[in-house]
Amino acid sequence: MGFFGALRSKVEEVVGKVERTVGGAVGDKAMEFGGEAHFEHGEALLDKEERGDAPDDSAGAPSK
């Protein structure tokens, strides 16, 4: 996973934290659990990258 893959994972993690926090603050359990799912998914992608299991972002990029 390259720079953009790591960035996408981190953004998903942060969005999940925000969604979870806002959902908890307003009492919206669906939003809270949806945020938790986004957070966990972003975290899992980062863990996968650290293990080297993540696909390369340049796979679909045109060659120069």
List, for residues 29-44, the tens digit of each pLDDT value: 999 999 999 899 888 8
The CA-to-CA distance between both ends of the chain, in Å, stands at 20
Residue 32 lies in a domain: yes
Work out how many domains the chain is built from and give that number: 1
Residue 62 lies in a domain: no
pLDDT for res 64: 47
How far are the Cα atoms of 10, 22, 29, 52, 56 from residue 45, in angstroms, in the given order? 9, 23, 24, 10, 12
Q: Give the pLDDT mean for 5-26.
A: 90
Residue 61 lies in a domain: no
Q: Give the pLDDT mean for 15-40.
A: 92
Domain, as residue range, for 38: 3-53
